[in-house]
């Protein structure tokens, strides 16, 4: 640092990936001595600091108490500080708005912080007392993936009342890997501003609320909730729906009410048997049904005749019998990827080849037409 450096004007400090061991007070290694002395001077003066990024400082063990003087600090990023054990008890930080501690896997205790904080990411930390979340006045984005948050409802009270005790300002909620989560209560509708709900790898989750419509919900992710058997019906505003590796059996006929849906991921849903072809009523939808071994049936009920000239649906599908489909409707294949030895008999244009892949020229299609991509 130049000698005329003025830390009192410092607003943002980025130190990602550095070899910092300790901030402000004390010194752990002689090699770091000069750096540490410089920082202790610099930070005592840097009271205008608004943003501090210490992500990936994998040697950092402790953040000492002089951080409490940073009264203007709004953003504190400390994700992937895998050695971090101690945050100072009095750190409070009255202006703090964003705190990201993702993967600080040794951190057990979160000290008192400003209850005005809006983003608090505690994914994969060892924190085990989460009662502070009820004190948050205007949480917007909360991440508790792979934490012990279930202690909140396993011991103290049912999840339903927890949901009602949390501020309705919440927009984004991330939970994952919580075995005690069996039912998502309908009180989730209190969070009427919710735009992302991400509940993954909750292997015992079976029941979702019905009859609710979260009007701002854009992304819904239940990936890996393997006991979930019914298609989520929580909002018709969804743009992206991730229900890969779930036990869902059917894509129901009311799929067409998801009029904004652009992406549906049902990869590896091994129980999926039926897909309502009302799915073709959704323009611009991309779906992934790969590795859905039980999918054999596509239901054509309520499918208007002119449907296929109107829509353009990208359909990636496994295991549907294309011959049966071809006999029912005049499909146009744009791309057909198949494995196996034989060219199917229903192909009138045939060619032979010795390599494992062969190309069959298909009639060129206009993009306004639907196409079917078959992978098996």
Q: Which two tokens stand for residue 103?
A: 């993967």
Output 16 or 94, the one with its CB closest to ligand NAG. 94
Angle formed at CA 166 by CA 161 and CA 169, multiple of 5 degrees: 140
Q: Which two tokens stand for residue 312?
A: 């353009």
Q: Which two tokens stand for residue 267?
A: 């990869």
Interaction of residue 195 with ligand NAG, rule CB under 6 A: no
Interaction of residue 321 with ligand NAG, rule CB under 6 A: no
Beta bridge pairs of residue 142: 120, 173
Output 202 or 320, the one with its CB closest to ligand NAG. 202
Which residue is associated with the tokens 């039980």?
Answer: 294
Considering only 38-46, 113-121, 272-280, 330-338, which stretch makes contact with ligand NAG by CB under 6 A? 113-121
Interaction of residue 219 with ligand NAG, rule CB under 6 A: yes
Interaction of residue 145 with ligand NAG, rule CB under 6 A: yes
Cα separation, 171 vs 192, whole angstroms: 8
Interaction of residue 114 with ligand NAG, rule CB under 6 A: yes
Interaction of residue 144 with ligand NAG, rule CB under 6 A: no
Interaction of residue 335 with ligand NAG, rule CB under 6 A: no
Interaction of residue 221 with ligand NAG, rule CB under 6 A: yes
Interaction of residue 100 with ligand NAG, rule CB under 6 A: no
Output 239 or 326, the one with its CB closest to ligand NAG. 239
Residue 317 and residue 279 in contact, taking contact as beta carbons nearer than 8 Å: no
Residue 248 and residue 272 in contact, taking contact as beta carbons nearer than 8 Å: yes
Q: How far is the CB of 263 from ligand NAG (least distance, A)?
A: 9
Considering only 101-109, 111-119, 154-162, 290-298, which stretch makes contact with ligand NAG by CB under 6 A? 111-119
DSSP codes, 126-158:
-----GGGGT-SS--EEEEETSSTTHIIIIIS-
Q: Which of 58, 115, 256, 376 binds ligand NAG (CB under 6 A)?
A: 115
Among 131, 94, 79, 93, which Cα is nearest to 109's?
Answer: 131
Torsion-angle region of 330 (φ positive above 0: left; ψ -120 to 50: alpha; else: beta): beta
Residue 318 and residue 375 in contact, taking contact as beta carbons nearer than 8 Å: yes
Q: How far is the CB of 42 from ligand NAG (least distance, A)?
A: 25
Cα separation, 21 vs 324, whole angstroms: 65
Q: How far is the CB of 179 from ligand NAG (least distance, A)?
A: 16
Output 219 or 291, the one with its CB closest to ligand NAG. 219
Q: Which residue pairs from 81-89 have beta carbons closer than 8 angstroms and sit at least 24 positions apart in sequence?
A: 81/54, 81/55, 81/56, 81/57, 82/58, 82/106, 83/58, 83/59, 84/60, 85/61, 86/61, 86/62, 87/63, 87/111, 88/63, 88/64, 89/65
Considering only 29-37, 64-72, 100-108, 110-118, which stretch makes contact with ligand NAG by CB under 6 A? 110-118
Q: Which of 71, 94, 210, 328 binds ligand NAG (CB under 6 A)?
A: 94
Interaction of residue 174 with ligand NAG, rule CB under 6 A: yes
Interaction of residue 71 with ligand NAG, rule CB under 6 A: no
Interaction of residue 118 with ligand NAG, rule CB under 6 A: no
Interaction of residue 176 with ligand NAG, rule CB under 6 A: yes
Output 222 or 289, the one with its CB closest to ligand NAG. 222
Q: How many CB atoms lie within 10 A of CB 34?
A: 10
Q: Which of 18, 66, 160, 198 binds ligand NAG (CB under 6 A)?
A: 198
Q: How far is the CB of 92 from ligand NAG (least distance, A)?
A: 8
Considering only 112-120, 157-165, 269-277, 348-356, which stretch makes contact with ligand NAG by CB under 6 A? 112-120
Cα separation, 28 vs 21, whole angstroms: 7
- In the complex, the residues that contact ligand NAG under the rule CB under 6 A are 94, 114-116, 145, 174, 176, 198, 200, 219, 221, 240, 242
């Amino acid at each position: 640092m130049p000698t005329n450096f003025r830390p009192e004007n410092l607003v943002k400090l980025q130190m990602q990936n550095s070899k910092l061991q300790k901030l402000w007070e004390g010194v752990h290694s002689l090699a770091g001595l000069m750096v540490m002395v410089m920082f202790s001077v610099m930070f005592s003066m840097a009271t205008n600091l608004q943003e501090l990024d210490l992500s990936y400082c994998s040697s950092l063990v402790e953040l000492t108490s002089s951080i409490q003087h940073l009264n203007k600090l709004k953003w504190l990023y400390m994700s992937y500080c895998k050695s971090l054990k101690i945050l100072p008890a009095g750190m409070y930080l009255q202006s703090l708005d964003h705190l990201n501690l993702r993967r600080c896997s040794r951190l057990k205790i979160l000290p008192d912080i400003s209850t005005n904080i809006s983003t608090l990411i505690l994914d994969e930390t060892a924190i085990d007392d989460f009662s502070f979340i009820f004190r948050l006045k205007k949480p917007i984005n909360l991440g508790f993936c792979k934490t012990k948050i279930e202690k909140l409802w396993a011991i103290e009270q049912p999840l339903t009342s927890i949901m009602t005790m949390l501020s309705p300002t919440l927009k984004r909620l991330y939970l994952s890997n919580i075995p005690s989560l069996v039912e998502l209560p309908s009180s989730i509708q209190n969070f009427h501003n919710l735009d992302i709900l991400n509940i993954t790898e909750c292997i015992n989750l079976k029941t979702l609320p019905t009859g609710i419509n979260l009007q701002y919900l854009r992304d819904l992710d239940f990936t890996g909730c393997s006991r979930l058997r019914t298609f989520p019906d929580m909002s018709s505003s969804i743009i992206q729906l991730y229900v890969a590796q779930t036990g869902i059996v059917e894509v129901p006929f009311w799929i067409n009410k998801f009029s904004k849906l652009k992406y549906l991921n049902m990869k590896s849903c091994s129980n999926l048997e039926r897909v309502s072809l009302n799915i073709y009523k959704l323009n611009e939808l991309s779906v992934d049904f790969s590795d859905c071994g039980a999918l054999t049936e596509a239901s054509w009920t309520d499918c208007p005749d002119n449907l296929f000239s109107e829509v353009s649906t990208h359909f990636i599908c496994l295991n549907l019998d294309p011959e049966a489909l071809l006999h029912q409707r005049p499909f146009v294949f744009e791309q057909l990827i198949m494995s196996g030895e034989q060219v199917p008999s229903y192909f009138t244009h045939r060619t032979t080849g010795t390599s494992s892949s062969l190309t069959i020229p298909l009639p060129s299609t206009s993009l306004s037409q639907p196409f079917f991509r078959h992978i098996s």
